[in-house]
Amino acid sequence: MTTEKKGHTPKDSHYARLRRQYRDSEPERTGAATRPKQGTTPPHLPTDGLVRLYGLHTARAALENPSRTIRRMLVTRNAMGRLELSEPLTLPFPAEIVEPRDIDKILGADAVHQGVLIEVEPLKAKRLSALGDTRLVLVLDQVTDPHNVGAIMRSAVAFGAGALITTSRHSPSESGVLAKSASGALEHIDHIEVRNLADAIGELHEAGFQTVGLDSDGPARLEKTFSGEKIALVLGAEGKGLRQKTRDTVSALARLDMPGIIRSLNVSNAAAVAMYAARSHLDQD
C-alpha cells in the first residue's frame, strides 16, 4: 500500500470520478451546497454514531475511499479549490460552503481543519480471518493515545504493512484526532480488532508469522531477530510497555539499540524504525 502524494489525484480514481460527477451534476440535485445567510452559523452536525473528520489530507482520502459513507461536508471556498471541487458544489451528500470560523465553532479553535469538515460513518473493524496475504502487520498492546495510533497508521501505510491489529478495549476509537494524525492513512489500512491479544498472536503464529515484541530490555537487537517471510511487530503502551502475557506469547523479544543519551523513543517513532528494519529483512527474500 502507498499513500497519496500531496496534491496528486489518480486519473481514474474513485475521487476523480466523484469530482467529475460533481461537475456534471444538475444544480437542483439534492444536497447542493448553499452559503449560509450573513451572520448565521451552520447548525451543529449530528454526532450520534458518526465521526467528524477534518483536514485536507484526511478529507481527500475519505472522499477517495469507496467504503466511506459521508453524511455531510462543511468546506470553505479556499479548501474547495485545494480539493479540486468545482462550483457549483453539487455533491451526493449535503454540503455547505462556510467560513473558517464556522468550523472553528464546531471543532474548537485548536483543531487544524484547513477549511474542511466531513461527518462520516465509522469504518467497520475487520476480524483476524480477513488478514489476507500481507507479510507485515502491526499489533498494538493497549496503546491508547489517538495521536500515537494515528501516527503509527501513517508509518504502517508508508512501509506497506497490511493491517493494524488492536484490542476491542483499551484502544482509541476512530476520531478526528486519530484521523488527522494518520494524515489519510486511516482509509488505506485494514484495522482488525480482537478480544484477546494472546489468542490473536497464537493465530498469527498458525498463519506463519514471526511475532516480535519490542522491549527495551530485549535479549537481542531487533534487526538480528527477524526470521521467516512474515513478521508481526508487537508494541506496548508508553510507560507500561508490553503486558506480561503478551511478552510470554510472542515468538521473540527484541530491542532497538540506541547509542545516544536518550534510551527510549515515543511508541510511534519506535514503530516507524521497527517497520523500516522489518521491511529491509522482508525485501531481502
- The second-level CATH assignment, the architecture, of 14-120 is 2-Layer Sandwich (3.30)
Q: How far apart are the first and last CA of the chain?
A: 19
Task: Kindly report the average pLDDT of the chain as a whole number.
Answer: 82
CB neighbours (10 Å) of residue 119? 21
- Please check whether the two domains, 14-120 and 128-282, share a CATH topology: no
Percent of the chain with pLDDT over 90: 40
Query: How far lies 53's CA from each of 8, 61, 71, 121, 182, in Å?
Result: 20, 11, 11, 10, 11
pLDDT tens-digit map of 221-276: 999 999 989 999 999 987 788 999 999 999 999 999 888 888 778 999 999 999 99
Name the pLDDT band for 126 (thresholds 50, 70, 90). Answer: confident
From the number of C-beta atoms within 10 Å of its C-beta (0-12, 13-18, 19+), residue 128 rates as middle
Mean pLDDT (whole number) for 149-178: 89
Best-predicted range by mean pLDDT among 13-27, 44-58, 120-134?
Answer: 120-134
Mean pLDDT (whole number) for 32-48: 45
Position 158 scores a pLDDT of 95
Query: How far lies 180's CA from each of 40, 147, 186, 208, 259, in Å?
Result: 28, 8, 9, 33, 32
- How far, in Å, CA of 170 to CA of 150, rounded? 15
Position 87 scores a pLDDT of 60
Query: Does residue 115 have a pLDDT over 60?
Result: yes
Position 33 scores a pLDDT of 45
Q: Which of helix, strand or coil describes residue 253? A: strand
Best-predicted range by mean pLDDT among 75-89, 104-118, 248-262?
Answer: 248-262
Query: Does residue 277 have a pLDDT over 90?
Result: yes
From the number of C-beta atoms within 10 Å of its C-beta (0-12, 13-18, 19+), residue 177 rates as middle
Please name every residue paired with 32 in a beta bridge, in sequence order, or none if there are none: 90
Best-predicted range by mean pLDDT among 12-16, 43-47, 58-62?
Answer: 58-62
Name the pLDDT band for 112 (thresholds 50, 70, 90). Answer: confident
Position 199 scores a pLDDT of 96
* Domain locations along the chain: 14-120, 128-282
CATH of domain 128-282: 3.40.1280.10
Name the pLDDT band for 30 (thresholds 50, 70, 90). Answer: very low
